[in-house]
Structure formats: structure tokens, C-alpha cells
Amino acid sequence: FITNPPMKYNLIIADDDADFGHKAKTAFYDALNGINRPKVILPTGNTPAPFYKDLRESGDCPSFTYIALDEYTGLMEDDKRLFKKWLAQEILDPLEIKVRWTFNSAANPACEIEKMRALFFKNGHADVAILGIGENGHVGFNEPGSPFNESVRHVRLTEETRKANMAYWGEQYGVMPTHALTLGIADLIESKKTILLARGAAKAEILQRALHGEITTDVPASYLQRQENVTIVADRAAAQLLPH
């Protein structure tokens, strides 16, 4: 009978936040090496913060096109809760990354989907996808059950994800958005290289399941088992259940 061969990935383990930032940056530079005008998907969240800090403080100025992974919809374009605002502040403005493929939160989502698909069609997909993983295995806003063959789309957020993201909003911001635009797994599959970032013990179990469990839409990140060129950058707590 046929079994899947064990997944091959490059595992980089970090000792602390500073080491995580440094190792993630090194993995990023390795991935960019030799690519002309690279297109890069970048994640938001707590996980990449040390990576962005290291990049900002390095004094380097890597050049790339930024591709948004996901964005809330229904917010005004000057709303500081937008992922693109957060990323601009954290990394895109400091590095002077000018070319940004982003979603307009206030526009018609169907038009935004078409816009992003057209950009991929004309220019090709990402060279490097840097991703986080949710405790339920989501990547971007591809929640459990998201088909692997779907491209950019408008999704309703799960209660779990809304609660997890509530922490970033603070009481004064009122209610969380209910919907978002996200690149689909089909778009992420097209990325030539993937760097998955994970920090903290809360990610240990899902990381193990995603990389070594069944390949299933119940664990969206399990699509990575079929990808080439996957690097995992994890701290010791997140990597504790991985063979190494």
C-alpha cells in the first residue's frame, strides 16, 4: 500500500526572541538570494514581531514587492486596525518598500478579489511566502475546511479567530470585523519558497499535526507537506514536538 513519504523541510530552532528574529531574517535573505525583483507575502501577528524588529534594526534595505496575505473588510482605509497599516509601520515604511499589493478594505470585496487575481495572472505568484500558523492550523484567514484549490476570496471569520485577534484591538475599538479577504491555499501553493514562523508552546501541537499528521483541509497548514522548499523557523517551545 502507498504511504506519503515523510515531509522534507528545513527546521531552524531559535533560543529566544532575538535569536528568532535573527534566524528568521537569515532564512528570509537565503530565500531571496538570486531572485530578481522578488515578490514576498508577509504575515501580521505577534509571531513575526522579532523578525521585523531584526530587519528594521539591521540597517539593510532588501528590495521586494509586498503581497498582502489577508485583510479585514468593511473598515475605512485610514483605520489603524488594518493589517496593511500595521505592516507599514512595522516593516514596509522603515524598509521603504514602495510596491505593495494590498486589499482595499472599504471597496467591494469582489472587485478586490479580481484585482489581486489579475496581479498574479500578469506578474506571477509569490517567490517567497512567509506565514504564521493559527492554533487551529489556519494560514492567513484560511480556516479549517478551506479547500486547497481555492484562490483569493472573501471569508467569514470564525469566532475562535475573532477572539484570538481581539487582543490586538483593545476595548476602545468596539466590535471586531466579521469578514476578511484572504489569499487562498491555491495561491500559497504557487509560492516558490515558504518560511513558516511559529513561537510559543501553544503552537507546538498544531505545528506537529500540520507537518506530520494527515494532509487534510481540517488542518489548512497541512498543505505544506506537498510543498517544496519549506523552512520552519520556530522557538524551542513551538518546536518541542517536532523530530530534530
CA distance 185 to 50: 26
C-alpha cell read off for 123: 506578474
- What DSSP string describes 47-85? TTHHHHHHHHHH------EEEE-EEESSS-TT-TTSHHH
Minimum distance from residue 123 beta carbon to ligand PGA (Å)? 25
Q: Which of 9, 22, 25, 45 binds ligand PGA (CB under 6 A)?
A: 45
Residue 200 contacts residue 232 (beta carbons within 8 Å): no
Nearer to ligand PGA, 98 or 156 (CB): 156
Catalytic positions, written as ranges: 70, 136, 138, 143
Minimum distance from residue 196 beta carbon to ligand PGA (Å)? 10
Q: How many residues of this chain bind ligand PGA (CB under 6 A)?
A: 6
> Of the listed pieces 33-41, 42-50, 151-159, 229-237, which binds ligand PGA according to CB under 6 A?
42-50
Q: Which of 109, 134, 137, 184 binds ligand PGA (CB under 6 A)?
A: 134
Residue 165 contacts residue 71 (beta carbons within 8 Å): no
**Does residue 50 interact with ligand PGA by CB under 6 A?**
no
CA distance 12 to 4: 23
**Does residue 142 interact with ligand PGA by CB under 6 A?**
no
Minimum distance from residue 71 beta carbon to ligand PGA (Å)? 13
> Of the listed pieces 5-13, 39-47, 51-59, 170-178, which binds ligand PGA according to CB under 6 A?
39-47
Q: Which of 132, 137, 184, 220 binds ligand PGA (CB under 6 A)?
A: 132
Nearer to ligand PGA, 81 or 115 (CB): 81
> Of the listed pieces 4-12, 19-27, 126-134, 227-235, which binds ligand PGA according to CB under 6 A?
126-134
Q: Which of 46, 108, 123, 178 binds ligand PGA (CB under 6 A)?
A: 46
DSSP-derived 3-state class of residue 237: helix
Terminal-residue alpha carbon distance, the chain: 27
Q: Which residues of 213-223 are buried (b: 16+ CB within 10 A; e: fewer)?
A: eeeebebbbbb
Backbone angles phi, psi at 139, to 5 degrees: -130, 130
Residue 69 contacts residue 96 (beta carbons within 8 Å): no
Binding residues (CB under 6 A) for ligand PGA: these are: 45-47, 132-134
